[in-house]
Amino acid sequence: MRPIHWRRIALTAALGIVAGAGGAMRSTAADEPDWAGARERMVVEQIEARGVSDPRVLAAMRKVPRHAFVEPALRSRAYADGPLPIGHRQTISQPYVVAAMTELAMAGPGSRVLEVGTGSGYQAAVLAELASEVYSIELLEPLATRAAETLASLGYERVHLRQGDGYRGWPEAAPFDAIVVTAAPPTVPPALLEQLGPGGRLVIPVGRGWQELEVHTRTPDGFDVRKVFPVRFVPLVPGKPKSAE
Ligand code: SAH
C-alpha cells in the first residue's frame, strides 16, 4: 500500500463523510428497487475507485444488503456515498470507510475479529463474510437489540453480540486476529491492544473531532503504528465504571 495514494484517498473519504451525498435508486421492471445494481455501482464508483482492491472485501461489499441495516424511510439512500443516521444520534458509516477498515483488518478465513461499536450491525456483517467468528460490542441497548434482530434475520450466526462498554474489549473471547473500532476514543484503549494475538491488527480512529485512522500491529517486540487517513467518527463513549453497573 503506497502512503501517498492513501493520503489522496483520505481527502475524498473525508469529503464523502461530510457530504453524505444522496443517490438515485433505479427500479427493476417489477418496480422492486435494484439493490444488487446499486451495490455494484457503490463498489465500482466509491470503493474500487478510491483504491480498495482486496477481492474478498469487494465481494463482501457486493453481497451484504446494506439497505436491511437502515430504517425503511432511508433505504433509497442506503448505497449513497455517505453515512446515514441509525437513531440515538449514531450513524452507519460511509460504505468506503467500512470497506477500507475491513481491508486494513486483513481478516482471513479462520480468523477471529472483534468490532467495537456494533451500531446497525452492518460492519459486523461485512467482517463476517471474511472471518470465521466476529464478536461485536455495542454500548446502547436499543441499538444492540436491533442489530441482533437484523443479523439473525439475515442468517449471520457467526456474529456474537454483547451490550456493554467496548473500552474493555471482550477478554473471554480474546485473542483476536483483528479489532475494528467504529467510534473514536481520545487515546487507544490499552485493553484492546492487550487482546490482540501475535500479528494482530487494531484498526481505530483516534482523537477528538476529526480523527486519524490508525493501525496498530502486534509485533514480537511491541506494536507497529501506522496512521492511514483522516476520518470523522462519533466518540467512543466511556461506559459506567464497574462499581456503578
Ligand atoms: N459499525 C456501525 C456504526 C458504528 S457508530 C455500523 O456498521 O452500523 C458507533 C457506535 O459505537 C454507536 O452505535 C455507539 O453507540 C457505539 N459506542 C459508543 N461508545 C461505545 C462504547 N464505549 N462501547 C461500545 N459501543 C460504543
Instruction: Report domain extents, the chain.
Output: 3-17+31-239
Kindly list the protein residues whose Cβ atom lies closer than 6 A to any atom of ligand 1.
90-93, 116-117, 119-120, 122-123, 137-140, 143, 165-167, 182-183, 234, 236-237, 239
Cα-to-centroid distance, 32 and ligand 1 (Å): 31
The residue whose CB lies within 8 Å of the most ligand 1 atoms, and thus the one to mutate among 66, 90, 245, is 90
Over the stretch 54-83, which tens digit does the pLDDT of each residue have? 999 999 999 999 999 999 999 999 999 999
pLDDT tens by residue, the chain, 245 residues:
333 344 333 333 333 333 333 445 665 556 679 999 999 999 999 999 999 999 999 999 999 999 999 999 999 999 999 999 999 999 999 999 999 999 999 999 999 999 999 999 999 999 999 999 999 999 999 999 999 999 999 999 999 999 999 999 999 999 999 999 999 999 999 999 999 999 999 999 999 989 999 999 999 999 999 999 999 999 999 987 655 44
What is the residue-wise DSSP string for 54-70? -HHHHHHHHHS-GGGGS
Looking at ligand 1, which atom is closest to the CA of residue 88?
15
- Selecting among 93, 111, 120, 136, the annotated active-site residue is 93
132 assigned to active site = no
Full-model pTM: 0.89
Q: To test ligand 1's pocket by mutation, which of 66, 92, 139 has the most ligand atoms within 8 angstroms of CB?
A: 139
Backbone angles phi, psi at 40, to 5 degrees: -60, -45
pLDDT in tens, 201-216: 999 999 998 999 999 9
Residue by residue, DSSP assigns 144-210 as HHHHHHHHHHTT-TTEEEEES-GGG--GGG--EEEEEE-SB-SS--HHHHHTEEEEEEEEEEESSSS
Q: CATH homologous superfamily of domain 3-17+31-239?
A: Vaccinia Virus protein VP39 (3.40.50.150)
- Cell 496512521, located at residue: 227
Spatial separation of the C-alpha atoms in residues 162 and 117, rounded to whole Å = 10
